[in-house]
Structure 1
Amino acid sequence: MPDAEELISDALAAVRGTDVRLAERQLDRLMIGTGAADGAAVVDAALLRRLARSVGRQAQRGWQPVDLARLAARRLGPRPAGLVTDALAAERRDPAGPVPPWWDEQLRDLGAEVWWDADAGHLVAWAARTGCDRFTALRAAVDALALVEGLPPIAVLRPPPGAPGPAAARGGSGGGSRMLDRVRALLAKAESTTYPAEAEALTGKAQELIARHSIDQALLAGVAEPTDRPGGVRLGTEAPYGGAKALLAQEVAAANRCEAVWSDDLGFTTVLGWPADLEAVELLYTSLLVQATAAMLRGRGERRAKGGGRRTRDYDESFLNAFALRIGERLRAATEEADREAAARNGPERLLPVLATRAEAVRERLDTLFPGVVRGRLTVRDAEGWSSGTSAADRASLGPGPAPTRQVRGRR
Structure 2
Amino acid sequence: MSTSGTVDRAFRSALYDTGDDTLDTGASLLAADPSADAELARRGEEFVASAWKRGWQPADVVRVVRRELDETHVRVVGSLIRAQARREAGEGRVRGARWKAQVGQVPTVEAGARGDRFSYATAVLELYRLLLRLPALESLDEVAGEGVASSSPGGRERARTAESRMLGRIRALLAKAEATGFPEEAEALSAKAQELMARHSVDEALLAAKAVAVEGPDAIRIGVDAPYEQAKAVLLDAVASANHCRAVWNEAFGFSTVVGFGGDLEAVELLYTSLLVQASGAMSKAEAAQQAGGRKRTKAFRQAFLAAYAHRVGVRLGEVAAEAAVGEELLPVLASREVAVGEQVERLFPATATTRLRGVRDAAGWDEGVRAAERAQVRGRRRLT
TM-score (norm 1): 0.72
Q: Match of 2:280?
A: 293
SS at match of 1:375: coil
Native 8 Å contact 1:230 1:361 kept in 2: yes
**Amino acid of the residue matched to residue 129 of structure 1?**
A
Q: Please, which of 79, 84, 87 is the counterpart of residue 91 of structure 1?
A: 84
Q: Does 1:233 align with 2:220?
A: yes
Q: Does 1:249 align with 2:236?
A: yes
Using the alignment, how far apart are the partners of 1:133 and 1:99 within structure 2?
Answer: 37
Using the alignment, how far apart are the partners of 1:278 and 1:354 within structure 2?
Answer: 17
Q: Match of 2:302?
A: 316
Q: Does 1:48 align with 2:41?
A: yes
SS at match of 1:151: coil
Tell me how far 1:312 sits from its aligned partner. 2.5
Determine which structure has more spread, i.e. the larger CA radius of gyration.
1
Q: Match of 2:68?
A: 75
SS at match of 1:233: strand
Correspondences of 1:121-270 after superposition (within 5 Å): 128-130=112-114, 132-159=115-142, 168=146, 209=203, 228-270=215-257
Q: Match of 1:326?
A: 312
Q: Match of 2:362?
A: 382
Using the alignment, how far apart are the partners of 1:262 and 1:271 within structure 2?
Answer: 9
In angstroms, what is the RMSD of aligned CA positions? 3.6
SS at match of 1:235: strand
- Listed one character per residue, the Cα deviations across residues 302-326 of structure 1 (whole Å, up to 9, x for unaligned) are 1122233x22222211101111222
Q: Please, which of 365, 374, 383 is the counterpart of residue 394 of structure 1?
A: 374
Native 8 Å contact 2:220 2:258 kept in 1: yes
The number of residues matched between the two structures is 341
Using the alignment, how far apart are the partners of 2:71 and 2:102 within structure 1?
Answer: 17
Native 8 Å contact 2:190 2:281 kept in 1: no
Q: Match of 2:23?
A: 23
Q: Match of 2:342?
A: 363
Identical aligned residues as a percent: 35
Using the alignment, how far apart are the partners of 2:150 and 2:264 within structure 1?
Answer: 10
Tell me how far 1:369 sits from its aligned partner. 0.6
Correspondences of 1:336-355 after superposition (within 5 Å): 336-337=322-323, 339-340=324-325, 342-343=326-327, 348=328, 350-355=329-334
Gaps in structure 1 of 5+ consecutive residues: 34-39, 116-124, 160-164, 397-412
SS at match of 2:226: coil
Using the alignment, how far apart are the partners of 2:270 and 2:316 within structure 1?
Answer: 16
User: For residues 300 and 170 of structure 1, do their structure 2 counterparts lie closer, same or farther at Cα, with a shift above 3 Å needed?
Assistant: farther
User: For residues 58 and 77 of structure 1, do their structure 2 counterparts lie closer, same or farther at Cα, with a shift above 3 Å needed?
Assistant: same
Tell me how far 1:356 sits from its aligned partner. 0.9
Using the alignment, how far apart are the partners of 2:366 and 2:150 within structure 1?
Answer: 38
Using the alignment, how far apart are the partners of 2:141 and 2:87 within structure 1?
Answer: 21
Gaps in structure 2 of 5+ consecutive residues: 175-186, 377-385
Using the alignment, how far apart are the partners of 1:129 and 1:371 within structure 2?
Answer: 45
Q: Match of 1:121?
A: none
Tell me how far 1:109 sits from its aligned partner. 2.9
User: For residues 195 and 93 of structure 1, do their structure 2 counterparts lie closer, same or farther at Cα, with a shift above 3 Å needed?
Assistant: closer
